[in-house]
Structure 1
């Protein structure tokens, strides 16, 4: 019972509870599916979107850990992306979001993807159009291609053979 429109509101109405509406004119995106979660993140970093993350009136509320500063290595290349505190980047990141303390190691490529907190993308790995879960490890050289459908790697999953370095 997690969808407001299909479960929560109908159950309240059936039980005789009062339900009220609030007219909201800001940005809203229902992220009830993997595809819509991916779309919302890609819309956020798109240069064409109307959202201005630098506008102090437009706040994003989240729990932020105290993390070390970001590290961008000699091989790092980042474009049209959001890199949150504590990330380690020594690969290529394009049109993607790296959450707190995510790692993209040397030779890795992350394109059109969302990498959750603490996830590690190994040397030479290639991630395209995917959501990589918190704490997941994508081993060296692994390719995840979501060209046809957004690919998801779950929380703390390991894909490939992880090394001692991971």
Structure 2
């Protein structure tokens, strides 16, 4: 649990850094903002599933703006912080049943879902940084080691 909690501390830190960079850059690249919204929407969907609730009405992809992103960051931070505080090491192997956005049923361990969410966000934050660089904007480092230092 210590490693998973640390991964989520990093996730929160990295999301905040990306938001701040996008706000300061005042980018008009809607695709970059939509990609950030996707990360945050996916986090919301997964924490909803982890809590045993229906996520079928929540978007995975949506057009958004930075105000929506800021709101999602706050909500996701609160939800994951509460969820992880209530989660014990032995809970990590619990199987979670859920339907994906296409309605197909799956089962995955809580451990695998939590790991997926952390890695999914980092993958897309890398894409965002690539887009920023292509737009002539200095990307923000969200590497784990920088967070850990």
The TM-score with structure 2 as length reference comes to 0.25
Greater length-normalized contact order (CA 8 Å, ≥ 6 residues apart): 2
- Which structure: greater helix fraction? 2
Task: Give 1 or 2: higher strand fraction.
Answer: 1
TM (normalized to structure 1)? 0.23
